């Protein structure tokens, strides 16, 4: 059944609780932001994504990854979507995103549809937030109320992206510090990692676990399967794809966590949530594996929290007419976030 936004009425009871957790600095985001100016925004986003799903089953996972990679770099401001230009160095070439992000064409199609229906109204940053919600629901996952009202940045920040985006080989300690830098706690880390319950990953992001000294935390049967897909001769360069969740790869459910319990986590950054024997993360993995409702509730809370990282609001930034380009001459503007944040990121990198 298509996602129409009708079910939002069922969550109104929880909306006020959710909004109560949003700090004063984030209070300008609103669940009713487009009610008067673009009331069909969710339906329009949904229609484009539903169409994309017909030919690309991976698109939902790709879209939620865009939202994640955007929010971790100078906040949820669509900076990730900006292409290289005379004045902008794109974040898309960062270590974590280079040749691995997808769905930009779908985002552009959504923007085109919204500009036709509601010109100069819906930001690209809000498109990413809504698209993440729609993508999860279409794959069988939870629906959450999406606070809106973000505006788009006037620049990207590749240097910051290379410092703050988590990488697939990170240890648990590194992941915790990385998420804490964004104001996200251990529950957020484990819950948001659950987005790997659907989608695919290229061999080059995990094949270092397969050869030389194979990762002892990788199930031996799974190891043999992955070696067939990712030959040793191509370690570090193989772009072959495999499912992030070997159990139900196209469904948003809690099987990701039962995979971790069986040492079937594809990425090192997945498996360390359980194999590090950290009592906090192990307890959360066990809880989510046993109770899908608990996972869905925690995921919803955490992605709302992530979506509220340093949004531009009011007169800040702009509403881009095209998501991959700033409007007019505004591309000559300075960085949205300055040296303070980058200095903190330097401290983060040096500490991990």
Instruction: Report how far residue 236's alpha carbon sits from residue 254's, in angstroms, rounded to the nearest whole number.
Output: 30
d(CA 251, CA 180) in angstroms, rounded, equals 29
**Which residues belong to the annotated binding site for substrate?**
166
Please determine, for residue 191, whether its predicted confidence score (pLDDT) is greater than 50. yes
Q: Which residues sit in the known binding site for heme b? A: 196
The pLDDT confidence band at residue 180, using thresholds 50, 70 and 90, is very high
Q: What is the DSSP string of 284-332?
A: HHHHHHH-HHHHHHHHHHHHHHHHTSS-B-TTSSB--SBTTB-SGGGGG
pLDDT at 28: 83
* pLDDT given for residue 150 in this prediction: 98
> Annotated binding site: which residue ranges?
70, 73, 75, 77, 79, 91, 166, 196-197, 245, 248, 253
Choose between 51 and 15: higher pLDDT: 51
Strand partners of residue 200:
243
Contact predicate 182/352, CB 8 Å: no
| pLDDT band at residue 262 under the 50/70/90 scheme | very high
Q: Are both 6-165+309-333 and 172-300 of the same fold?
A: no
Reported as a single tens digit per residue, the pLDDT across 263-294 is 999 999 999 999 999 999 999 999 999 999 99
> Cα separation of 87 and 330, whole Å?
10
Catalytic residues, by residue number, are 69
Cα–Cα distance for residue pair 217/107, rounded to 1 Å: 37
Reported pTM: 0.88
Average pLDDT, the chain: 89
- The DSSP letter of residue 241 is E
CA separation for the pair 265, 274 (Å, rounded): 9
Write down the domain spans for the chain.
Answer: 6-165+309-333, 172-300
Q: Residue 348's pLDDT is what?
A: 58
Helix, strand counts (H, E) of the chain: 14, 2
Task: Flag whether pLDDT at 215 surpasses 80.
Answer: yes
Mean pLDDT for 92-101 is 90
Predicted confidence (pLDDT) per residue in 26-45, tens digit? 448 999 999 999 999 999 99
- Radius of gyration from C-alpha coordinates of the chain: 20
Percent of the chain with pLDDT over 90: 83
Give the CATH class of 172-300.
mainly alpha
Position 337 scores a pLDDT of 38
CATH C-level class of 6-165+309-333: mainly alpha
């Amino acid at each position: 059944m298509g996602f129409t936004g009708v079910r939002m009425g069922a969550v109104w009871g929880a909306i006020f609780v959710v909004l109560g957790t949003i700090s004063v600095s984030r209070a300008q985001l609103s669940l009713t932001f487009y009610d008067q100016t673009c009331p069909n925004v969710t339906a329009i986003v949904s229609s484009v994504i539903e169409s994309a799903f017909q030919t690309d089953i991976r698109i939902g996972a790709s879209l939620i990854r865009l939202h994640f990679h955007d929010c971790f770099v100078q906040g949820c401001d669509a900076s990730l979507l900006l292409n290289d230009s005379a004045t902008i160095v794109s974040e898309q070439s960062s270590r974590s995103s280079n040749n691995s992000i997808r769905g930009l064409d779908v985002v552009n199609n959504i923007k085109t549809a919204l500009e036709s229906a509601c010109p100069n109204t819906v930001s690209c940053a809000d498109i990413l937030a809504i698209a993440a919600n729609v993508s999860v629901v279409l794959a069988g996952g939870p629906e959450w109320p999406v606070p809106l009202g973000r505006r788009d940045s006037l620049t990207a920040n590749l240097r910051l992206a290379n410092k703050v985006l988590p990488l697939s080989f990170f240890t648990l300690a590194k992941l915790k510090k990385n998420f804490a830098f964004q104001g996200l706690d251990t529950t957020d880390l484990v819950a948001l990692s659950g987005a790997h319950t659907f989608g695919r990953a290229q061999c080059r992001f995990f094949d270092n676990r397969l050869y030389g000294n194979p990762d002892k935390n990788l199930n031996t049967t799974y190891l043999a399967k992955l070696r067939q897909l990712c030959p040793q001769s191509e370690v570090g360069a193989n772009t072959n794809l495999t499912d992030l969740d070997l159990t139900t790869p196209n469904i948003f459910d809690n099987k990701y966590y039962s995979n971790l319990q069986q040492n079937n986590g594809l990425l090192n950054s997945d498996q360390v949530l359980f194999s590090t024997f950290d009592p906090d993360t192990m307890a959360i993995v066990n809880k989510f594996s046993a109770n899908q409702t608990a996972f869905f509730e925690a995921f919803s809370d955490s992605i709302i929290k992530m979506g509220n990282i340093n949004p531009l609001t009011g007169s800040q930034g702009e509403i881009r007419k095209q998501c991959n380009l700033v409007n007019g001459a505004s591309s000559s503007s300075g960085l949205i976030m300055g040296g303070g944040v980058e200095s903190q990121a330097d401290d983060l990198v040096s500490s991990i």
